[in-house]
Chain A
C-alpha cells in the first residue's frame, strides 16, 4: 500500500536548522510530487511548499522563502525538508504528503500523508 514514513521528533535551539525525511513506498516515486504542511499546536494546516519528484522543481510559500529547502533522493524514494534559522513559532508538527500533478506547475491534492514529525524549538 502507498505509505509515507517520516523521521522522528526533533528538539532544536533557536537559530539552528532541522532536516525532516519522508520515505515513500508503494508507488512510482517520480510520478508525483511531495508537499510539506505544518501545524502549530492547536492551530490549522499551513502549506509550506512542494517539490516535483520527477525533476526537482520546487515552489515554496512566500513567508518561508530563503529559510526552507526541499529535496528528493530518487534512489531511495525519500524526500527531505530543511528549515533554517529556527524560531519558537516554527514549533509544529510537520507533515509530508504525496501530491498529484495536474499539469505545468500545478500540484493539487494531498494523499496520503505521513504520520507527522514534531519539531520543537526551545532554548
Chain B
C-alpha cells in the first residue's frame, strides 16, 4: 500500500487560509468516507483534527475543516495562527481493511 500524496510544505501569513491536499486512489480515499487528519507538533504525539472526511472532534477549533472530491481529500485551516505551525498527516481506510497515512505536510506560519 503506497502512502497517500501530500505536499511537502505549505505556508501562509497569520489570518490567511491554507489548504492541504491528500491524494490517493479509488481503493482508499476515493472509495470510503474514512479520511482523517492529524496535527503533530515536534516531539509530540499526533492529535486527531478531522474524522470521516469533514467531522471535527469536540475541542478542535472550527478554523479546521475537511472535504473530499474524488480521490483527493483536503484540510483547510482558516484564520491561520502561530500555534497551527506543525506537521499534518491525512489517513484513509483502504479496500484491504488496512489504513494508510499521507506523506505529511509541514505548515509554516510566516
Contacts and interface: CB of A to CB of B under 8 A. Distances in A.
| B is a partner of A | yes
B99 A35 contact: yes
Interface in A75-123: 95, 97, 100, 102, 104-116
Interface string B36-74: 101010000111100110000100000000000000000
A66 interface: no
Contacts of B52: 108-109
Interface stretch (A13-21, A24-32, A43-51): A43-51
Interface in B9-36: 34, 36
A114 B45 contact: yes
A48 B45 CA distance: 16
Contacts of A116: 45
A100 to B, nearest CB: 8
Contacts of B51: 100, 108-109, 111
A61 interface: yes
B98 A110 contact: no
A59 interface: yes
A62 interface: yes
Contacts of A49: 98
Contact of B46 (A45, A100, A107): A45
A115 B43 CA distance: 10
B98 A111 contact: no
B101 A45 contact: yes
A109 B36 contact: yes
A63 to B, nearest CB: 9
Closest 10 CB pairs of A and B: A111-B48, A105-B97, A109-B36, A109-B51, A113-B45, A44-B104, A108-B34, A45-B101, A47-B99, A45-B89
Interface of A: 35, 37, 44-47, 49-50, 59, 61-62, 95, 97, 100, 102, 104-116
30 contacts: A35-B99, A37-B101, A44-B3, A44-B101, A45-B40, A45-B89, A45-B91, A45-B104, A47-B91, A47-B98, A47-B99, A47-B101, A50-B99, A95-B45, A95-B46, A100-B51, A102-B34, A102-B93, A105-B97, A108-B52, A108-B93, A109-B36, A109-B51, A109-B52, A109-B91, A110-B36, A110-B38, A111-B48, A112-B47, A114-B45
